[in-house]
Amino acid sequence: MTIERPWTYEPGSGYTEGQDLTGFTVEATDGVVGHVDRESDGPAMRHLIVDTGVWVFGKSVLIPAGVVTGIDTQARQVTLSCSKDEVKAAPLFRTDRETLDPEYLARVDDYYRGLPPRHAE
């Protein structure tokens, strides 16, 4: 899967407008990354802030909506199109101010667009 529109949920992802994903488990292609701490549902820059717990030493990461491949409301789980290592290597998220920083968001956008394509298995 190539991420062409990182800031928009893809059709078929299971996203429903106004849905609250806070607390959902976040699963990469190779295991659990953490849980959704909060989300931004603005029309242009939709994303999740994911608390990685001890996995990445208690850090948070910003995951653009276009990286989400599935939302299972029954299991309270969000599935991503990237691996745990790819999430870990993403531009570091430190404060909420970065969600308003065009340079930081451009780095995040470039990073996720540049990930290798994934093929359906």
In the chain, the number of structural domains is 1
Which conformational region is residue 26 in: left (phi greater than 0), alpha (psi within -120 to 50 degrees), or beta? beta
Q: What global pTM score does this model have?
A: 0.88
Residue range(s) defining the domain that contains residue 40: 25-113
Whether residue 12 lies inside any domain: the answer is no
Side chain identity, residue 62: L
> What is the Cα–Cα distance from 66 to 73, expressed in whole angstroms?
18
Question: Does residue 49 lie within any of the structural domains?
Answer: yes
* pLDDT in the model for residue 121: 45
Give pLDDT < 50 ranges for the chain: 120-121
pLDDT at 75: 97
Say how far apart CA 1 and CA 116 lie, in whole Å.
8
For residue 103, tell me if it sits in a domain: yes
